[in-house]
Amino acid sequence: MRAGAMVLAVASLVTLNACSSGKDSGSGSPKGSSSVSLDFWGWAPGYDKSVALWNKTHPNIKVNFSKVPSGSGGGYTKMQNAVKAGNAPCLAQIGNESVPTFVVNGALEDVSAYANQSKDQFVEWTWKQSSLGDKVFGIPVDTGPTALFYRKDLFSKYHLPVPGTWQDFAADAEKFHAAGPENYLINAPVDSYDMAGYTWQAGGHWFGTANDQWQVTIDGAETQKVTQYWQGLLDKKLLKTGAGPLDTTWFKEAQEGHIASVITAVWAAPLIEQNLPKLAGKWAVAPMPQWNAGEQAAGDNGGSTTAVLKGCKHPKEATEFATWFSTNTDSLTNLIKNTGIYPAAKSGLDLPAVNTPSAYFGGQNIYQVFKTAAENTNPNWVWGPSMTQVESDFVDGLKSAAQGNSSIPDVAKTVQSKTVAAMKNQGLSVG
């Protein structure tokens, strides 16, 4: 279901929950002053560098960037508490998956009057990630097309073919683990972002609207196929447990050659390069394994919006900065290099930075893989209004499954039930 229909289901709740304007610490300038100051909260590496570029050329609109924990690490709670207290920053980095949650909680400003003039500068479906119906709540920064990062030296050493299908991937996992008890091709899924990306690629969806009601299908047929696949690998003890993708343990295991791949988004490239410098030239990127040979379907894991929080006293200036942040050539070049974004702005897709071989990845032009992935990602995926709850429940459930106390298919069923209940408790109509 397209995002345009979503507003019908949330409009009444948004109206009820809308916060009144309070003192905005992110835009506190004396009345009548010719300049304004905007606070901006986020966590991604490289954001501060783009802010510094802006401040050099825009002396009348100063942006103060403050690093906060990632959204799932507490940043979203901090933002929403600040909105309730009336001292929120003007600007915030919000993952696309969490925009509907912020809207339902009345935590975002409608900046349509200032943003719509820039709509045509962005890939259509990315604009919808920052919008609900005819209301725009921020400016899209990037998407998260997914692919397979793999250790090409280890694949060569153990004679593992680059997997074209999920069946091939399972065969590689079995062969790599058989070569050494500490060897695992990949880690077990750990959160909703993993599961959503796999479901997205499989052609499924988790949320939609029909007849002015939310539809929730977290345990739908495609998710069931995905969960059964990963449970099969878990049952055979072919997945690394106790390590999430790109966490401290994962990097240690990867450095030692005990984890040979990760399926995740483009933004992982600089993280791998920065945390595993000694493995330069040993990594490569390939398309995600496919359910049917010859297909090119991909999922999405990540992507952010620069949103304007409720109570911002200078929404016009905030939107001006957010648009520049996502479209300016120097800003985009920095964000591609240091943040690992895949741009939402059409102009960003033609920059040299997304068409340059990577020395770290052995001279491979990895962005060509992500370009194909982005072109083969279903643009109609809809995020629901309770993703904080969905994420928490998936994290708890998948941890239990990894410990053998549950199963991944059962986790999806439990999250489905809990999500419907949570949404009804919010006053939302669920079909």
Q: How far apart are the first and last CA of the chain?
A: 14
pTM of the entire predicted model? 0.88
* Residues 416, 218 contacting (CB under 8 angstroms): yes
Question: CA quadruple 99, 101, 104, 106: dihedral positive or negative?
Answer: negative
* Residues 245, 194 contacting (CB under 8 angstroms): yes
Residue 295 buriedness (CB in 10 A; 0-12 / 13-18 / 19+): middle
CA 78 vs. chain centroid, Å, equals 19
| Helix, coil or strand: residue 266 | coil
Per-residue pLDDT of the chain (431 residues; tens, 9 = 90+): 223 333 333 333 333 333 333 333 343 433 434 699 999 999 999 999 999 999 999 999 999 999 999 998 899 999 999 999 999 999 999 999 999 999 999 999 999 999 999 999 999 999 999 998 889 999 999 999 999 999 999 999 999 999 999 999 999 999 999 999 999 999 999 999 999 999 999 999 999 988 889 999 999 999 999 999 999 999 999 999 998 999 999 999 999 999 999 999 999 999 999 999 999 999 999 999 999 999 999 999 989 999 999 999 999 999 999 999 999 999 999 999 999 999 999 999 999 999 999 999 999 999 999 999 999 999 999 999 999 999 999 999 999 999 999 999 999 999 999 999 999 999 999 98
Residue that the structure tokens 């990577």 belong to: 358
Domains and CATH numbers, the chain: 3-143+302-354 (3.40.190.10), 146-300+381-425 (3.40.190.10)
The CA distance from 419 to 215, in Å, is 11
User: Which residues make Cβ contacts (< 8 Å) with residue 168, sequence separation at least 6?
Assistant: 161, 289
